[in-house]
């Protein structure tokens, strides 16, 4: 996965340079092409998201491997209600399940919070 991350970072850096070069050339010609910049920016964002997904996947693999049932606890934590009468939750970065604010592991997928 580290190799894939390096490859994506390299691609993103090339895209940034391409975007900068395109903007510079367009400024020299007094012709800005916002739609072309937007397309390239969307590609950059897509690759940044891919890196973030790789990081999340790697974190999940490490957390699942290092998971110890003793750390999870046998008894679920009771929900916390704030002063406004609304239950507070900490949402899992992996599966988006609502967890107790003090939870260490997700109640659904057991990923470390």
pLDDT of residue 1: 57
Taking the whole predicted model, whether its pTM rises above 0.85 is answered as: no
Encode pLDDT of 35-67 as tens digits.
Answer: 888 888 888 888 888 877 776 665 555 444 444
CA proximity to 77, closest of 90, 62, 60: 90
Chain centroid offset of residue 4 CA? 16
**DSSP one-letter string for 3-40:** HHHHHHHHHHHHHHHHHHHHHHHHHHTT---HHHHHHH
Instruction: Round to whole Å and give the CA distance between 99 and 113.
Output: 9
């Amino acid at each position: 996965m580290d190799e894939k991350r390096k490859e994506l970072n390299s691609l993103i850096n090339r895209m940034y340079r391409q975007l900068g070069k395109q903007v510079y050339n367009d400024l020299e010609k007094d012709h800005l092409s916002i739609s072309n910049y937007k397309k390239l920016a969307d590609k950059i964002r897509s690759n940044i998201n891919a890196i973030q997904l790789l990081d999340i996947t790697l974190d999940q693999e490490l957390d699942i491997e290092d998971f110890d049932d003793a750390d999870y606890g046998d008894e679920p934590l009771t929900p916390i209600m704030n002063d406004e009468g609304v239950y507070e939750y900490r949402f899992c970065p992996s599966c988006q399940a609502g967890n107790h604010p003090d939870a260490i592991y997700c109640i659904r997928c057991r990923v470390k919070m």
